Amino acid sequence: MFLDIVKMPLKGTGGLDYGCRIVRIFRMNCFLKVYGCQMNAADAHLVSRLLAEAGINQVSGSNEADAVVLLTCSVRQRAEDRAAGFARTMRGEGKKVILAGCMGRLRGKELIDGGIADFVLGPDDYRAIPSLVLGKSALPQRPSPNLETYSDLLPSGNNPVSASLAVMRGCNNYCTYCVVPYARGPERSVPYADLERQIRHLLDKGIKQIFLLGQNVLAYHREGMEFIDLVERVARLEGLERLGFLTSHPRDLSREAVQRMAGIPQLLHLFHLPLQSASNDVLKRMGRGYGIAEYEERVAWVREAFPDTYLTTDLLVGFPGETERDYQLTLDAVDRIGFDFAYMFAYSERPGTRAADMGNQVAVPERKRRLAQLIEHQNAITRRSAERLVGAEAEVFVTAPAPRGEGAMLAEMKNTRLVILNHNTRLGEKLKARLVGLAGWSILAEPC
Ligand code: SF4
């Protein structure tokens, strides 16, 4: 609990001013903990705003908190276990626990019955969080209508020069291993007028770089606008210097869209195209809607239009029925394509998904072996991709102080590749830098 002393004006009848009195207001302290993807990170800013508007004080550690809000992830069992463990500890310390997000939506009653949380909410129910923290109301009675976009809320963020904004929520794809459509509901795109209002608000606050987010951002469609129309329109807003987007389903990337993107000077040259597997059999059972040839065709379009593309991907090994040969096809494709970076995972059964009921599950130790080998393989490629840049010059955009190193700053190249800049300067500055070496995978840079 946090004690605030405020002056309250005293008004008489007819609005006569009788001065003011001092009152003490007790504010709830709330700790917000976020697990999972970029969407959850962006949602955390929405929740922060809702808490602030309700007069709830947000604290940076759980020790001083009266209530703890968890924005959870259900993509893998490990993410759920971590959130459940933290929630249990917090309840053991007598704190009110509100478990929100994907895990809340998928495992609601079970979490309450198991004593893990006081309240559980899905990703469409964040507006209920402040009243639950304040103890004013119970859970919403109706199931969530899957229509929420939060587009009336003005976004806030931690970084003074860079922000992310969800332009669509949910997913209609039902890839057979994925819980997102069950947890986050069907696709909904935010109306352009709301997005423009949110983006102008961010630009007025000094934001220069914006990432448009969606579970499958390329599926954006609203009022006759497709995603590429949206990108072109947003890029024309005055004051916006850098514009990126995440995450793209490879199937939905068209050649025309890539060519139109190449004509947008503010666009960042980052393409995150989750491949998952390079075996057509596995891709078919995953329900991904493309084969490896179509995937590589899209990579070629992107690299032709943006020769300095930072190409990243997601890879999933040990999917049910994945043979050693299927797995080798993925290793071969990783060599051939040369991703600059990859997020790599072993398959994790998610209850309720079609893949969880497939026969031929790969034994867990074998999944782990494949993952460890893949990581070693890709890490060498990632390192070579960074090494090739040493000696080059690049324009960089300064985004944050470097976590270690006096006076050094973190900065991003046009393709969002991160560098550690040996130069103390203000956030949001753009400057020419020489890439002088590596520290681990991090690129070291000096101003030119
Ligand atoms: S596209 Fe597939 S993997 Fe991505 S969120 Fe939708 S269902 Fe999940």
CATH hierarchy code of domain 2-134: 3.40.50.12160
Tokens matching residue 317: 């090994």
Separation of alpha carbons 307 and 228, rounded Å:
20
Mean pLDDT of 164-177: 96
Gap from CA of 214 to ligand 1 centroid (Å): 10
> Domain 269-278+307-388, what architecture?
2-Layer Sandwich (3.30)
395: phi then psi, degrees, rounded to nearest 5: -80, 135
The amino acid occupying position 46 is L
Q: pLDDT tens across 54-77, in order?
A: 999 999 999 999 999 999 999 888
Residue-level pLDDT at 22: 59
Which among 306, 293, 310, 285 is positioned nearest to 382, based on CA atoms?
Answer: 310
Mean pLDDT of 270-284: 98
- C-beta neighbour count of 133 within 10 angstroms: 23
Query: CATH top-level class for 393-447?
Result: mainly beta
Residue-level pLDDT at 211: 97
Q: pLDDT tens across 108-163, in order?
A: 888 888 989 999 999 999 999 999 999 876 555 444 566 889 999 888 778 999 99
* C-beta separation of 322 from 176 below 8 A: no
Alpha helices (runs of H) in 340-423, residue ranges in sequence order: 364-387
Domain ranges of the chain: 2-134, 147-268, 269-278+307-388, 393-447
Contacts of 72 (CB under 8 A, 6+ apart): 35, 36, 40, 79, 80, 83, 99, 100, 101, 102, 103, 104
Q: Please indicate whether residue 247, judged by its CB atom, sits closer than 6 Å to ligand 1.
A: no
Gap from CA of 38 to ligand 1 centroid (Å): 14
Residue-level pLDDT at 19: 63
Residue-level pLDDT at 439: 87
Q: pLDDT tens across 193-211, in order?
A: 999 999 999 999 999 999 9
Q: Whose CA is nearest to atom 8 of ligand 1?
A: 178
Gap from CA of 419 to ligand 1 centroid (Å): 30
Q: Please indicate whether residue 216, judged by its CB atom, sits closer than 6 Å to ligand 1.
A: yes
Do the two domains 2-134 and 147-268 of this chain adopt the same fold? no
Q: Please indicate whether residue 175, judged by its CB atom, sits closer than 6 Å to ligand 1.
A: yes
pLDDT at 400 over 60: yes
Please determine, looking at this structure, whether the domain spanning 147-268 carries the CATH number 3.10.310.50: no
Nearest atom in ligand 1 to the alpha carbon of residue 247 is 4
H or E stretch at 8: strand 2-11
Gap from CA of 247 to ligand 1 centroid (Å): 10
* C-beta separation of 70 from 96 below 8 A: no
